[in-house]
Structure 1
Amino acid sequence: MSALKYWLWLTELPGLTNQTRLALLQHFPTPEDVYYAEAEEVLLTEGITREQAILLENKDCAAADRILADCQRLNVNILTLQDAGYPNRLRNIYDPPCLLYVRGRLPAFDDEAAVAVVGTRDCTPYGVSCAEKLGHGLAAGGAVVVSGLARGIDSAALRGALRAGGTVAAVLGNGTDVIYPPENQYLYEDVAAAGALVSEYPPGTPPDGRHFPVRNRILSGLSLAALVVEAPERSGALITAGTALEQGRDVFAVPGPIDAPASVGCNRLIRDGAGLASDAWDILREYEARFPDKLRREGTQDAPPVLGYQARQKTEPKPVAPSVSLSHNNLSLTDDQICLLRTLTEEPMLADDLIELTGIPTRRVLSALTVLEIEHLVTQHSGKRYARAVNLTE
């Protein structure tokens, strides 16, 4: 029996959770070892109950055979957690899928600035316009746009990215051969041609309401950041934002009218520290230093040479940050503010890291940062990260 068949046996065995499968794969080198293990050995796996060990006595591989045949017929590739092509970015989340079904060509996510764009199905014309604009801008700027293929914001973001000729990936809550919603048939084909359709569910799996919150961890897990375009108070997009934060990803949101129900979630995210995104560069500038050869501001690539003011503007050196003398302390800075300025660098730092490095209580750190930001000595970046905006002299 091929090694891949053991993976399919394990993932399709009824009654096991993904966490149970991951625990088994931590204890045993491969699914093949799980398949042939005695019950007593299985019970040595941390967290495994006797009832779960009994489930593993089912050695029927009919489902695995069927899935292998379907994938071959549909040209769907299978990536396991132990394959070299499985993205490390996803592998390192708390609950990675044991395997992925991929139709198309999976981007090299570990080397890409991927941004998940999500939002409500019941969107407004404003939301659709913003999603298409931002999807286009992210793709034109060199990012991989990741989304679902749900109605509304997800589909609009992918359409915008495809119009820009960018690379895209869609994470599904059903099999990669199941088109949902039906009107997205052509969009499915376009995404598969320009990137990949991705699912942890085998071909033929119908859409199920329980699948979509679960697949959100893959959306954010493949990405550096999650962008919420439009989300009411109770929205699956907010679940994705929460999952992204748990995974250490950045979160951005598009602001909307304060009396618009579809924008309540986004406005609250911004209030609570998410980055405000009005165009793609609001997001991509955060990763420009990390991907200097891939990211660019939309409209600047291959631009023809220009004369006059615009040409001079491009060749002018980067402005030098103003200097602040700590010895003279003309600004009447407090000890906390001085300590924070000395600790901060030009690279954004989390407030939690500043609290740990300085030993200053949380309330005082946040208060001092607020004053420093008002005085233009510190700039705040997405995710409540702060950078020093001045040079220090003693």
Structure 2
Amino acid sequence: MLKYWVWLAELPRLKGPFRLALLRHFGSPEDIFFADREELLLAEDVPPGQAELALNRDLSAADRILADCQRLGQRILTIQDAEYPQRLRNIFDPPLVLYVKGRMPVMDEEAAIAVVGTRECTPYGTACGERLGRELAASGAVVVTGLARGVDSAAARGALRAGGSVVGVTGGGLDVVYPPENGDLYADVAARGVLLSEYPPGSPPDKAHFPVRNRIMSGLSVAALVVEAPGHSGALITARLALEQGREVYAVPGPIDAPDSVGCNRLIRDGAGLAAEGWDILRDFQERFPEKLRPARKLPAWTPLPTRRRAEPRRKPEPAPEPEKAPALRAVSREGLTDDQIALLGVLEPEGPVQVDDLIESTGIPARRVSSALTMLEIDGCVRQHDGKRYTRTVALTE
């Protein structure tokens, strides 16, 4: 029954990973609710102090939340429901329940892009957020946003104006609009997409909720785009979480002397993809979602249209130039490299770029570690990144 799910999700002081551990051990919240103390203490990976918190059998809060959901037209999605996105289920500490208002896309079949940025954005950040949100939606992507003031709201508006679907993940109850001026935007997102929260109705947008909320945004997505962010920004938390979850990260470049672009420029320096338009991101996912994604423009702006030319007399072809010799590879000692870096360099070649997914499969190294190792190798000039997150080796290993 739903009330036991809400009871488990709202148990005071019980930490998320231990809620999941109890669920794995007992199989259902109802079985946890009716377990005695001895049974609770047998749960693996749950400290006794945490397990005993489940002895709190007060269902009044759960009954109140269920009544509020019915009154407000919200439904509850549990982690065991088929509609719950597999992407989100696979992250560390996924939410046990999601409060939902609107129509939930089949997220595992969508090229969902989390668009984030600073709340106190500049006019440049606002314009870029709206434009990229519009371009992503027009090209077939689903835009995931926190609906915060600034870049988040701009991206949501851009996607809605393109007729696209938006997933808004809030840091409070879905009935508590934050910021207050976004009432119409909340309503538009609920009508054209979906509002999601792990917090029940009436929950205030507490400051501590937003960094926690970010893991859901990146977990629902295949990539995160940071539009504008200073050196210390909540948007950079989303980028870090995305990397830890094995997602791709992109950033919009800004002027080198602009404080609000420090975070984005640093991400690009450290290996994030540069995004000047929506297709800079989506071209990397076109093979994965061939039925969903298409360029919003048939021809790039710089491609000239074909014109008729007068036939010219045939000329004797000139001899083809001799191919240039490949530059000699720089020698690099294994001593200064990690085991992951050595393994990746052993798979990569100077020619024939290799996709990141193929590197993960060939080496057996987790995606997060592969991304981190490639970033450091690229910074040190040991690998070169090509279009589509493909890499070649630029050095020769020595003992």
Q: Identity percentage over the alignment?
A: 60
Show structure 1 runs of 4+ deviating over 6 A: 335-339, 350-357
Distance 1:354 1:334 in 2: 23
Cα distance, 1:95–1:297 mapped onto 2, change above 3 Å: same
**SS of equivalent to 1:117:** strand
Q: CA deviation at 1:330?
A: 4.3
Q: Which residue of 2 aligns with 1:386?
A: 391
- Pick one of 164, 167, 170 that aligns with 1:166: 164
Is there any run of 5+ residues in structure 2 with no aligned partner, and where?
300-304, 309-322, 332-344, 366-372, 394-399
Q: CA deviation at 1:329?
A: 10
Cα distance, 1:45–1:276 mapped onto 2, change above 3 Å: same
- Pick one of 151, 154, 157 that aligns with 2:155: 157
Q: Is residue 38 of structure 2 the alignment partner of residue 45 of structure 1?
A: no
Distance 1:367 1:195 in 2: 39
Distance 2:350 2:268 in 1: 28
The aligned runs of 1:296-375 (5 Å cut-off) are 296-300=294-298, 309=306, 330-331=325-326, 334=329, 340-341=348-349, 344=352, 347-348=355-356, 366=377, 370=381, 373=384
Cα distance, 1:288–1:115 mapped onto 2, change above 3 Å: same
Q: TM-score, normalised by structure 1?
A: 0.83
Q: CA deviation at 1:64?
A: 0.8
Distance 2:75 2:379 in 1: 53
After superposition, give the CA deviation of every residue in 1:186-227 in whole Å (9 maximum; x if it has no partner).
000000011000000001101100000000000000000000
Comparing 339-348 and 93-102, the one that deviates more: 339-348
Distance 2:194 2:379 in 1: 46
Please tell me the residue identity of whatever aligns with 1:379. Answer: H
After superposition, give the CA deviation of every residue in 1:287-332 in whole Å (9 maximum; x if it has no partner).
001111110111349xxxxxx7299xxxxxxxxxxxxxxxx99436
Q: Is residue 226 of structure 2 the alignment partner of residue 228 of structure 1?
A: yes
Q: CA deviation at 1:74?
A: 1.0
Please tell me the residue identity of whatever aligns with 1:341. Answer: E
**SS of equivalent to 1:341:** coil
After superposition, give the CA deviation of every residue in 1:71-106 in whole Å (9 maximum; x if it has no partner).
111111100000000000000001100010010011
Alignment: residue pair count: 355
- Contact 1:119/1:228 (<8 A) preserved: yes
Q: Which residue of 1 aligns with 2:369?
A: none
Q: Which residue of 1 aligns with 2:116?
A: 118
Distance 1:370 1:157 in 2: 35
- Pick one of 213, 221, 234 that aligns with 1:215: 213
Cα distance, 1:387–1:295 mapped onto 2, change above 3 Å: farther
- Contact 1:170/1:196 (<8 A) preserved: yes
Q: TM-score, normalised by structure 2?
A: 0.82
After superposition, give the CA deviation of every residue in 1:160-179 in whole Å (9 maximum; x if it has no partner).
00000001100000001111
- Pick one of 259, 267, 271 that aligns with 1:273: 271
Distance 1:368 1:214 in 2: 30
Q: CA deviation at 1:372?
A: 7.6
Q: CA deviation at 1:38?
A: 1.3
**SS of equivalent to 1:251:** strand
Q: Which residue of 2 aligns with 1:75?
A: 73
RMSD between aligned residues: 3.1
Q: Which residue of 2 aligns with 1:89?
A: 87
**SS of equivalent to 2:211:** helix
Distance 2:386 2:380 in 1: 9
- Contact 2:120/2:150 (<8 A) preserved: yes
- Pick one of 63, 66, 70 that aligns with 1:65: 63
Cα distance, 1:352–1:72 mapped onto 2, change above 3 Å: closer
Please tell me the residue identity of whatever aligns with 2:34. Answer: Y
- Contact 2:118/2:150 (<8 A) preserved: yes
Cα distance, 1:237–1:350 mapped onto 2, change above 3 Å: farther
Q: CA deviation at 1:380?
A: 5.0
Q: Which residue of 2 aligns with 1:176?
A: 174
Is there any run of 5+ residues in structure 1 with no aligned partner, and where?
302-307, 312-327, 389-394
Distance 1:367 1:169 in 2: 34
Q: Which residue of 2 aligns with 1:253?
A: 251
Distance 1:339 1:50 in 2: 46
Comparing 336-345 and 157-166, the one that deviates more: 336-345
